[in-house]
Amino acid sequence: MKFLQSPPRFLFFTGKGGVGKTSIACATSIQLAEQGKRVLLVSTDPASNVGQVFGITIGNQITAVTAVPNLSALEIDPQAAAQAYRDRIVGPVRGVLPESVVKGIEEQLSGACTTEIAAFDEFTALLIDGALTQDFDHIVFDTAPTGHTIRMLQLPGAWSGFLEDGKGDASCLGPLAGLEKQRAQYKAAVDALANPQKTRLVLVARAQAATLNEAARTHGELAGIGLTRQYLVINGVFPQSEAAHDPLAQAICRREQAALASLPEDLRALPTDQIELKAFNLVGLDALRQLLAATLSNSDRHREEQSDVAIQDDVDGRAALAMTDQALKINAPNLASLVDAIAIEGHGLVMLMGKGGVGKTTLAAAVAVELATRGFEVHLSTSDPAAHLTETLKGSLAHLTVSRIDPHEVTEAYRAQVLATKGARLDAAGRAVLEEDLRSPCTEEIAVFQAFSRVIREAGKKFVVMDTAPTGHTLLLLDATGAYHRDIARQMGAGAHFTTPMMQLQDAKHTKVLIVTLAETTPVLEAANLQADLQRAGITPWAWVINNSVAAASLNAPLSSPLLRQRAANEWREIDCVAQQHAPRTALVPLLTDEPIGVARLLQLAAGKTAPDRSIP
């Protein structure tokens, strides 16, 4: 693998959600550790699943992975980091300042902005040659999905610049009181990120046009902030040898090879590796060790298949029986059947949530198209910085409007609004202070929350379908929503009548949350964790949608590819787990022979058909 040749001390794995960053980061860490290197594997993803991959509990402290000598791991827990950060700021003044003042400081530190700063504070500590990391030869970062990662990597420069310019009377004085003390650490972090001798960034993608375009955008943005030493890994490439007599396998290969042939120009010059799709789930050491193993040549694979043909026939036979048995037990409807129940109210908020890469954008578009074709007014929106709804819809449709909450755009609009209103009443000195305040990175949190609130208010009159950002970022947005609710409740007092966005999200009649997952071990565990987080916030998910299912596709047409048959057999266990243990109601969406782009194919997806229906307009 090119990305593993002469690796520097810091390796970053980033990319669109669901492309396999965690698996590759874990496999890389194991390989380096088994070469005798002392390795620290760090997850900066708020929805980290590194511990699940290894089958151990890691958490917010450096933990030895006992099954792999020389390997330790750390999951930066944003909430734990934020609490420790608040304790450092509030602790010294508790009992010294009046209680009302202390409560005011705690309120300043209660929002998502503080959570982001605290996680970033821990992240930068790992990039400097301090006591925390001095015992490790390599530090491997498994990062959050692209949009959040770029935000994290930009923060050292953003916060350093903000502090150097002078913070003025900033709205986030509490968080900045801690930042002020860390100037030297942030400068060292920026220097480490920009030094190709110290840092290598690995863009992970799938052989799909959307993820390759996302990787190209990420490449440009990260090069712009100094991370120029980049590599490309295209993960989960379907083996062409599997496509001989299987229409679904042929379709997958055809569109993957077309995507690779149209590789964006910015990526062509990068050192590139391809990793083949595996039949097994990437959980546990044995699976991870096989992930980066050298790919068999076609002749080697043919000899291996010939020698194992009897065993494979027996496995396939048992897998087919297991699939048939599970299919009879599980009665999961298609997505259109869920929309039947959603449509009864005539309006409301439908939010699709889940880890990156599970297909939330596509499914949100499919739900919106289904509702719009039934004559309902629908507003389809996204809070995901990396989502591209217009590319998925590929056209317009009566009764359907589309929008995107772009963090940069809404922040600039918010700044302009505040300067035009509050700023108009200030003198020159006061306006200068306000402008300084609005340059704080915390301003983005306020702007995105306000835009989110405006969109969901429309759900009282029409359907609003919201495609959310990957899990961790969505939870931070909900954290801001909860902080706003608590503040309003405190101001209004007991007995007052009011409605906040959080109350709308908690109202099951008004809001239906659809958790999107894949029929694989890790995505199901992550979805279950998301459901638990939502329930703690008083939000009860309405349904789960299992997307891109090979098992569901097998019900429409027999599979002849051994790899697809084995993946389908593996999926039925997870589908049963979702239906029996987690979801109040479930929809099963098959993997399609054609990418679900455009209205006709989105309707096909909702109907659960793997092949195009020529009657669909």
- Identify the weakest region by mean pLDDT among 296-300, 391-395, 528-532, 597-601: 296-300
Asked if residues 279 and 566 have their Cβ atoms less than 8 Å apart, the reply is yes
Q: Which of 31-45, 223-237, 425-439 has the highest mean pLDDT?
A: 31-45
**Residue 315: which of 563, 553, 557 has the closest Cα?**
563
Q: Which residue among 14, 45, 199, 392 is the active-site one?
A: 45
| pLDDT, tens digit (0-9, with 9 covering 90-100), for 68-86 | 999 999 887 767 777 777 7
Q: Which residue among 14, 16, 17, 22 is the active-site one?
A: 22
State the pLDDT at residue 443.
74
Q: Which residue among 72, 115, 522, 610 is the active-site one?
A: 522
| pLDDT, tens digit (0-9, with 9 covering 90-100), for 308-359 | 333 344 444 444 444 444 544 456 689 999 999 999 999 999 999 887 778 8
Pairing mode of beta strands 511-518, 586-590: unpaired
Catalytic residue at 521?
A: no
**Architecture, CATH, for domain 335-404+460-607:** 3-Layer(aba) Sandwich (3.40)
State the pLDDT at residue 478.
58
| pLDDT, tens digit (0-9, with 9 covering 90-100), for 46-74 | 556 677 777 777 877 888 888 899 999 98
pLDDT at 24 over 50: yes
Catalytic residue at 266?
A: no
| Both tokens assigned to 252 | 């997958």
State the pLDDT at residue 8.
92
**488 or 105, greater pLDDT:** 105
| Residue-wise burial string across 404-421, b where 16 or more C-beta atoms lie within 10 A, e elsewhere | bbebeebbeebbeebeee
Cα(477)–Cα(453) distance, rounded to whole angstroms?
A: 11
**456 or 368, greater pLDDT:** 368
State the pLDDT at residue 582.
94
State the pLDDT at residue 372.
96
State the pLDDT at residue 5.
92
Q: Which residue among 14, 15, 17, 23 is the active-site one?
A: 23
DSSP conformation letters of 102-144: HHHHHHHTSSHHHHHHHHHHHHHHTTS-STTTTT-SEEEEEPP
Catalytic residue at 373?
A: no
Contacts 24+ apart (CB under 8 A), 558-562: 559/246, 559/248, 559/249, 560/245, 560/246, 560/249, 561/242, 561/243, 561/246, 561/248, 561/249, 562/242, 562/279, 562/305, 562/312, 562/316
Asked if residues 145 and 356 have their Cβ atoms less than 8 Å apart, the reply is yes
SS3 296: coil
Residue 490 CB: number of other CB atoms within 10 A? 10
State the pLDDT at residue 54.
77
Catalytic residue at 481?
A: no
Asked if residues 605 and 362 have their Cβ atoms less than 8 Å apart, the reply is yes
Half-sphere exposure of residue 352, counting CA atoms within 13 Å on the CB side?
A: 31
Please state, rounded to an integer, the average pLDDT across all residues of the chain. 78
pLDDT at 405 over 90: no
Supply the pTM of this predicted model. Answer: 0.72
pLDDT at 541 over 70: yes
pLDDT at 438 over 80: no
Question: 539 pLDDT band (50/70/90 cuts)?
Answer: confident
State the pLDDT at residue 530.
84
Burial (CB count within 10 angstroms: exposed 0-12, middle 13-18, buried 19+), residue 607: middle
State the pLDDT at residue 165.
53
State the pLDDT at residue 207.
93
Convert 368-424 into a string of H (helix), E (strand) and C (coil): HHHHHHCCCCEEEEECCCCCCHHHHHCCCCCCEEEEECCHHHHHHHHHHHHHHHCHH
Alpha carbon distances (Å) from 359 to 17, 211, 367, 391 = 9, 12, 12, 14
Cα(514)–Cα(459) distance, rounded to whole angstroms?
A: 16
State the pLDDT at residue 461.
92
Alpha carbon distances (Å) from 561 to 260, 319, 535, 569 = 22, 13, 40, 12
Q: Which of 372-376, 412-416, 490-494 has the highest mean pLDDT?
A: 372-376
SS3 289: helix
| pLDDT, tens digit (0-9, with 9 covering 90-100), for 341-354 | 999 999 999 999 88
pLDDT at 294 over 60: no
R_g (Cα) of the chain, nearest Å: 25
**What is the pLDDT averaged over residues 506-521?**
89
The residues spanned by each domain of the chain are: 2-296, 335-404+460-607
**What is the pLDDT averaged over residues 123-137?**
78
Asked if residues 539 and 506 have their Cβ atoms less than 8 Å apart, the reply is yes
DSSP state of 297: P
State the pLDDT at residue 134.
84
Q: Express as a percent the part of the chain with pLDDT over 70.
A: 74
SS3 351: strand
State the pLDDT at residue 617.
39
Phi/psi at 43 (5° precision): -105, 130
Half-sphere exposure of residue 185, counting CA atoms within 13 Å on the CB side?
A: 18
Q: Which residue among 21, 167, 355, 512 is the active-site one?
A: 21
Catalytic residue at 72?
A: no
pLDDT at 267 over 70: yes
State the pLDDT at residue 304.
40
Catalytic residue at 45?
A: yes
Asked if residues 313 and 307 have their Cβ atoms less than 8 Å apart, the reply is no
Answer whether 2-296 and 335-404+460-607 agree in fold.
yes
Contacts for 72 with CB less than 8 Å, ≥ 6 apart: 39, 40, 41, 62, 63, 64, 65, 136
Pick the CATH number of 2-296 from 3.40.50.800, 3.20.20.220, 3.30.70.360, 3.40.50.300: 3.40.50.300
Catalytic residue at 23?
A: yes
State the pLDDT at residue 268.
93
State the pLDDT at residue 32.
96
340, containing H or E segment:
helix 335-343
| pLDDT, tens digit (0-9, with 9 covering 90-100), for 464-491 | 998 886 544 555 555 555 554 455 555 5
**What is the pLDDT averaged over residues 113-133?**
71
**Residue 603: which of 590, 614, 616 has the closest Cα?**
616
Pairing mode of beta strands 348-353, 378-382: unpaired
- Identify the weakest region by mean pLDDT among 180-184, 302-306, 596-600: 302-306
